[in-house]
Amino acid sequence: MEILNLNDKDNKLFYIGGVVRDEILNAESFDVDLTYEGNAIEFAKNIKGLKILKVNEPFGTVRVLIKNKEVDIASTRAEKYERAGHLPTVTKIGCSLKEDVLRRDFTINALAKNVHTGEIIDFTGGLSDIKNKTIKVLHDNSFIDDPTRILRALKFAVRFNFKLDEHTKLLRDNYLKNINYDMSFKRLKKELIETFNLNSQIAYEEFINAEIYKLVTPKEASLAKINIENFIDKYKKLINPDNIWLIYLGTIEDLSNLELTKEEQKIINDYNTIKNSQPKNDYEIYKLFESLKPESVLLYGIMVNVEIAERYLSKLKNINVNITGKDIKGLGIPPSSKYNNCFEYILKEKLKNPKLSYKEELALAKKFFEKE
């Protein structure tokens, strides 16, 4: 972590949360969270020459420019969950560092590091939990306040190969027996995306076996029969799916709570449309999948028939007809709907013999129209 060169006379500026955890673990950090013990906005305004880009008064945060980089500084703040499962409200800006830390999710995320002295402040035993690879909540209401933390626990467990502490696990399991569905599914979806984009079979098995999926729907779900991680890994380079998380989530029947985007919903709808189809030959396989996003094809493989999906992905997907309408026109045949029949005829031939050259395709087109 680079030491910021700010004139913080009182030594009240801290790195906080994930960034401290990641540095101790020697892991890559996605963002740098800074907090000022007191009012960060006033602090920033008092630094001579510091460029302030944005101020958010109600949250007590300020965005400043340091060495040409945009940096957010938060005020220490206390929060209250007025509606369990929803965003908390800020009750105090400029509280003590300890109070700020105690509103957080896990001990491993509750460490602070003084920006100037480098001292690590550990109010909750986070250092020893990192050492023991343990994820532990800070209080018994943590999952009731914010059930997305159940997924966060799974995400960190998989990312760092940590285990949940026994009491934390008990609190989780109790919560899952009595879920409050009046929650922010937007936040839940964000954690689902981050967790399952890790492409981890271990995460998936825990998600289903420990019934964490019940956060998404009260309907029953069971484990897919194949190892999803291996299946995705095998084809990831070839097909580059954008939404790996949705391949895992697609094994759960009811995603209606998640407010899927149009594109995400299409992946699920397309899969639902084809899931009862059993194509009997290469042409039928090709036609079933040709216009689908790769996620729908993978879902078919996972849930319906892995051989058929693999046949398409490894053998058929890249087969294309190369001649165009212009080429057929060049043969002296006036444009008509028969062009499409001709392309389908050539496609069928190409699926039997993918090595057919452009010239051979053209010869087939000629033959097709001679027969007409």
Binding site for ligand CTP (CB under 6 A): 17-18, 30-31, 33, 104-105, 109, 146, 148-149, 152
Nearer to ligand CTP, 113 or 149 (CB): 149
In the bound complex, what is the minimum distance in angstroms from residue 24's beta carbon to ligand CTP? 12
Q: What are phi and psi of 191, to 5 degrees?
A: -70, -35
Chain residue whose CB lies nearest ligand CTP: 18
In the bound complex, what is the minimum distance in angstroms from residue 17's beta carbon to ligand CTP? 3
Nearer to ligand CTP, 1 or 331 (CB): 1
In the bound complex, what is the minimum distance in angstroms from residue 129's beta carbon to ligand CTP? 13
Rounded CA-CA distance 59/78 in Å is 10
Nearer to ligand CTP, 27 or 363 (CB): 27
Nearer to ligand CTP, 64 or 188 (CB): 188
CA dist 278 → 92, 262, 281 (Å): 61, 27, 9
**Tokens at residue 295, please?**
């996620």
In the bound complex, what is the minimum distance in angstroms from residue 145's beta carbon to ligand CTP? 9
Assess contact for 239 and 266: CB atoms under 8 A.
no
Nearer to ligand CTP, 17 or 250 (CB): 17
In the bound complex, what is the minimum distance in angstroms from residue 317's beta carbon to ligand CTP? 34
**Tokens at residue 293, please?**
């996003």
Nearer to ligand CTP, 30 or 318 (CB): 30
Nearer to ligand CTP, 25 or 351 (CB): 25
Rounded CA-CA distance 168/170 in Å is 5
In the bound complex, what is the minimum distance in angstroms from residue 294's beta carbon to ligand CTP? 26
In the bound complex, what is the minimum distance in angstroms from residue 134's beta carbon to ligand CTP? 16
Nearer to ligand CTP, 172 or 311 (CB): 172
In the bound complex, what is the minimum distance in angstroms from residue 122's beta carbon to ligand CTP? 13
In the bound complex, what is the minimum distance in angstroms from residue 283's beta carbon to ligand CTP? 46
Nearer to ligand CTP, 258 or 308 (CB): 258
Assess contact for 258 and 323: CB atoms under 8 A.
no
